[in-house]
């Protein structure tokens, strides 16, 4: 190969490299745009989670109960009533009201577990309260599953997370029963 042919081949390679890099330079932003577009949620019409709130009188009564056994009994009664109201809302096709009741259910569940954990001294009384709470939570998972099935699909992500949260709460309520205290 002569020197002129080598320069010709060398020039061709540098030109193709320039074209290739220019192509990548212009294509790269589009690739990121496509990546961001594919990262968007598949169901943009999902509803945000309901607020975890209670009416003032119910909240005052719940927070005012300092005996562990009575607090757990009252919390389980409240949670049952919130699920009843949610099931009634589904029957009457009042989806948003039914969904709000699940937020109240969630508040009571989390609040009761926090209360029990703060009061845990390893005594038999608190262990009995944890046991009663965990047994009471068992009944709620199947009911929540039926609610999830009957609600429109836009509510499903939150209800699914709530069911998972009930399982995790049950696990946390069992842990003190097997502790070293």
Q: How far apart are CA 128 and CA 69, in angstroms?
A: 8
Tokens encoding 101: 């009741």
Q: What is the pLDDT, as a whole number, of residue 36?
A: 54
Q: What is the pLDDT, as a whole number, of residue 1?
A: 60
Q: What is the pLDDT, as a whole number, of residue 82?
A: 97
Q: What is the pLDDT, as a whole number, of residue 142?
A: 95
**pLDDT tens-digit map of 32-64:** 555 555 555 555 678 899 999 899 999 999 999
- 134-154 mean pLDDT: 94
Q: What is the pLDDT, as a whole number, of residue 178?
A: 81
Q: Is the pLDDT of residue 28 over 60?
A: no
Tokens encoding 123: 């005594």
- Rg for the chain, CA atoms, rounded: 29
Phi first, then psi: give them for residue 120, nearest 5 degrees.
-70, 110
Q: What is the pLDDT, as a whole number, of residue 110?
A: 96
- 116-135 mean pLDDT: 91
Does 181 or 136 have the greater pLDDT score? 136
| pTM listed for this prediction | 0.73
115-146: b (≥16 Cβ within 10 Å) or e: bbeebbeeeeebbebbebbbebbeebeebbee
**pLDDT tens-digit map of 68-99:** 999 999 999 999 999 999 999 999 999 999 99
List own/partner pairs for 124-132 with CB under 8 A and 24 or more apart.
125/68, 125/69, 126/68, 126/176, 127/176, 127/177, 128/69, 129/68, 129/69, 129/71, 129/72, 130/173, 130/174, 130/176, 130/177, 131/173, 131/177, 132/69, 132/72, 132/73, 132/76
Q: How far apart are CA 24 and CA 21, in angstroms?
A: 5
Contacting residues for 87 by C-beta, under 8 A, at least 6 apart: 98, 143, 146, 147
């Amino acid at each position: 190969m002569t020197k002129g042919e080598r320069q010709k081949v060398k020039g061709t390679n540098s030109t193709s490299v320039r074209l290739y890099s220019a192509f990548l330079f212009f294509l790269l932003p589009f690739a990121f745009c496509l990546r961001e577009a594919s990262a968007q949620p598949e169901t943009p019409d999902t509803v945000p989670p309901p607020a975890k709130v209670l009416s003032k009188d119910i909240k005052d009564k719940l927070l005012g109960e300092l005996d562990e056994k009575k607090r757990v009994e009252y919390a389980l009664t409240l949670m049952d009533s919130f699920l009843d109201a949610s099931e009634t809302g589904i029957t009457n096709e009042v989806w948003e009201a039914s969904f709000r009741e699940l937020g109240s259910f969630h508040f009571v569940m989390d609040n009761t577990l926090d209360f029990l954990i703060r009061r845990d001294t390893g005594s038999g009384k608190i262990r009995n309260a944890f046991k009663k709470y965990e047994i009471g939570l068992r009944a709620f998972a199947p009911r929540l599953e039926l609610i999830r099935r009957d609600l429109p699909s836009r509510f499903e992500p939150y209800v699914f997370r709530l069911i998972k949260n009930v399982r995790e709460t049950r696990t946390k309520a069992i842990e003190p029963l097997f502790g070293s205290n």
